[in-house]
A and B are shown apart, each in its own frame.
Chain A
Amino acid sequence: MKKFKFLLIPKSNNFREIININEISYQLKNLGHNCFTLKSQVSDDNLNFILEEEKFDFVFRVNKGKPKNINKKVRFISWVKQISDLNESLVNFNGNDLIYTLKKTHNNHKLKINQLLPAANYFNNIPKLEDYLLVTDRLESFQNIDISIISNYSRVDLFNGNKGLITNSSKINSDIHKKLHKLLYKIDEKYKILIFSLVNYSNLVINKNIHYQGEINNFNYFFEIFKKSRFNLLFEEEFLDFNSNFFNILLVQGILLANKKISKTFQNSINNNFNVSDLVFFFNTELEISNIIKKYYEDYSLRLKIGKEASKFVLKCHTYKNRVEQILKDIEE
């Protein structure tokens, strides 16, 4: 295959976004491609300047569209949440370009639009839940968090450059937390629920056993939380975010509770005969969550069995290696 020169542009300079875009860069480099990764988002003017000064075969830009007047030889790949995010910039794309969306898109455009999911941040020596069985045969004492939830929102999502709250995203964030609290209120208060989030919404709490813990600032520590929690509730409710924990929870054999709407994400995606519903506890209502927790809370061996299968599924279909293979295949077509 021809070796290409890529310019990768992250959504922001938040460490989760950067670690994720670096995963794509490292996979491309492992395949012999040349890659330059910017350290944060740039304006369209900046991007035009870069492309006037430097030659790239591909630009891969997260969460933003294609600027006007880009050299036609440069093929553009935009990865956005949903097609509507591209607004007016949609007219700048051509048949050589690619648009990836997180939300499944019904393609009624002449453009190439595919779904591209986030992926697991796999590395060779990542400790999984079963590894702790070698140290302790009592998973119940190791898993000392009953239920955990980790917010996807970072400072840059919630605050403007003048250190003030961004009204719109702040409202969305508080609504998500309200919904979460509503979902959790039927859970027996004997179960301890930890929410890791930059903004503390304790004032909205209905279930008194919900505790806000502040944000997690170390990437590896996410994996610790996923393993130490008997259940991990996904923050998203409709489709996976760029920095979703979905695959990382499963990667380390954690147990994942997710809104049923998320399961639509996996329709028609490559799942290699795995049935995602067997690996993730999808729920529709607060009662269903409560019942799942009651039913599986004490059943370590069943949870571990599900976790092991889920991890196999992620390693086979949902690593950044898989995603880069998909991107390279799509650009060849």
Chain B
Amino acid sequence: MSSLKKNLKILLIPNLISKYDLNQLNKIKQTFLKFEIDSHIFNIDYSEENLRNFLKINKFNIIFAVNKSRPNWLSKKIRFINWFQDFYYNSDDKLESFLESDIVYFYASPESFGVKKKPKCFNSMLYPGIDSNQINSIIDDFGNNYRNIDDYQILDFSICGYMPAALLVPFFELHFRNYNYDEKHFNDNLIKGWFTDLTNENEKKYPLETYKNFLVDLQTIVETNYIPLSGYLDVKKIASKVKKRILNMFNFIDTKIFDQIIPFFTTEYSRFLDRIELARLLSKHSTNFGLFGKDWTSYSEFESFSSDHISSEKELFSIYKKTKINLYNNTHGLGMHSKTFEIMINGGFFALPKSKKNYLRGGINEHFNENEHFVTFSPEKFDDLIENWMFNTEKRIKIGDNARKLVVSDHTWEKRIEKILRDLNK
């Protein structure tokens, strides 16, 4: 491995130029450095053209990218590693681009992602890691003084994640879906604008109420094909229904509006169904919870319980520690997620919905044991979660501490980089 390491120069390409994505790649870069491997983050907007120009003046022998296909012009000398953190309805096409010497990683298992094609190259699972340095757990801070911990944990529950208050998501009270579609609505101009400006210029035009009806049909496709908090999202099934509905009404599907609408309804909408379901379970059972993420504050029902997106890692980690029960959900039943490791490294108590998916690859049970490192709940019996855990601080802290120890030993970025280097040697 040492000879391999000496020659490596890796280009890291993020999914998007966002703080979250860049932060993750920065951790990877820092860890490569510990292995004396030089890497560089491609921190300009990705396009094949931009990459091509960049590679004309910069030499790399490996590209490590997130959610990208291998460009067909790329020199065969450069090995391409792609990490599918998301797998969209059309991502199968990307799998055909890889060469035998490349590597494809999946964040969730190919079964959960609904991967239909097998890449020619080696493929495996890759989970994010955690940087365990200088992160104190609750026990580090308080020892076994459970009374003090109880006082410190001021929130009963927390959920971290974005919740849009936009018109594609019908959760705010004045959403047009609550009214007759021929009634005037404050979003009318926006809807009209979308279907005028973002569809093909030769596209057939309809009355406004037809567009509203169409958008609600798309919402109900997801609502009748995905049970919130089940972890059983079938992206392709939903995509085929969404596309069928679009083609039923429009002649041109390859347009700006559908480029945005199709991924939204096939992948993101179900996430928001999960989150609103959880938040309303909390509303029923508690007056002491926190919802952290962009736009929760726009909902009057959650106004007193929400805060905007937390960009500081320190602040976010302090919320995990100050919360008695940290709730988590994933539409693919993915438990080996960065959020899982972040909560656990802080010794936070971690709860996720019961699902058969938890036992599949990428599910939480792949590396952690229920009631030893985490707990599960069912929405139908949410009160059991409260009864069993809310009032037993010692048990909660013990479970959080068990999880932290396992994360420190097995789920650091070092472990992940070791795996990548091993895979490169195969």
- CB interface residues, A 153-191, toward B, < 8 Å: 154-156, 159-163
Q: Is the CB of B220 within 8 A of A13?
A: no
Q: Is the CB of B380 within 8 A of A221?
A: no
Complex Cα spacing A174 to B286, Å: 31
**CB contact under 8 A between A156 and B174, given known A218-B304, A220-B286:** yes
Q: Is the CB of A18 within 8 A of B280?
A: yes
Partner of B174, one of A18, A125, A163: A163
Residues in B neighbouring A215, C-beta threshold 8 A: 300
Question: Is A29 close to B, CB under 8 A?
Answer: yes
A33-47 vs B: 1/0 string, CB under 8 Å?
A: 001111111110110
Question: Is B370 close to A, CB under 8 A?
Answer: no
- Of the listed residues B219, B241, B284, B285, the one surrounded by the most CB atoms of chain A closer than 10 A to its CB is B284
Residues in A neighbouring B186, C-beta threshold 8 A: 161-163
Q: Is the CB of A39 within 8 A of B179?
A: no
Residues in A neighbouring B285, C-beta threshold 8 A: 123, 220
Among the stretches B88-96, B129-137, B382-390, B395-403, the one at the interface with A is: B382-390
A109-131 vs B: 1/0 string, CB under 8 Å?
A: 00000000000010111000000
**CB contact under 8 A between A125 and B387, given known A40-B170, A54-B224, A220-B286:** yes
Q: Is the CB of A155 within 8 A of B174?
A: yes
Residues in A neighbouring B386, C-beta threshold 8 A: 124-125
User: A24 to nearest B CB, angstroms?
Assistant: 11
Q: Is the CB of A53 within 8 A of B178?
A: no
Complex Cα spacing A26 to B387, Å: 18
Partner of B176, one of A26, A53, A161, A218: A161
Question: Is B276 close to A, CB under 8 A?
Answer: yes
- CB interface residues, A 197-217, toward B, < 8 Å: 215, 217
Residues in B neighbouring A37, C-beta threshold 8 A: 223
B142-169 vs A: 1/0 string, CB under 8 Å?
A: 0000000000000000000000000000
- CB interface residues, A 47-66, toward B, < 8 Å: 49-50, 53-54
Question: Is B339 close to A, CB under 8 A?
Answer: no
Partner of A13, one of B177, B227, B300: B177
Complex Cα spacing A22 to B285, Å: 13
User: B301 to nearest A CB, angstroms?
Assistant: 5
- Of the listed residues B303, B305, B380, the one surrounded by the most CB atoms of chain A closer than 10 A to its CB is B380
User: A248 to nearest B CB, angstroms?
Assistant: 11
Complex Cα spacing A14 to B300, Å: 10
9 A-B contacts (beta carbon < 8 Å): A12-B173, A40-B177, A46-B213, A46-B217, A123-B382, A125-B386, A162-B185, A219-B284, A220-B283
Which 10 residue pairs of A and B lie closest in terms of their CB atoms, listed nearest first?
A161-B185, A124-B383, A123-B383, A26-B380, A155-B173, A161-B179, A219-B283, A162-B184, A40-B177, A217-B301
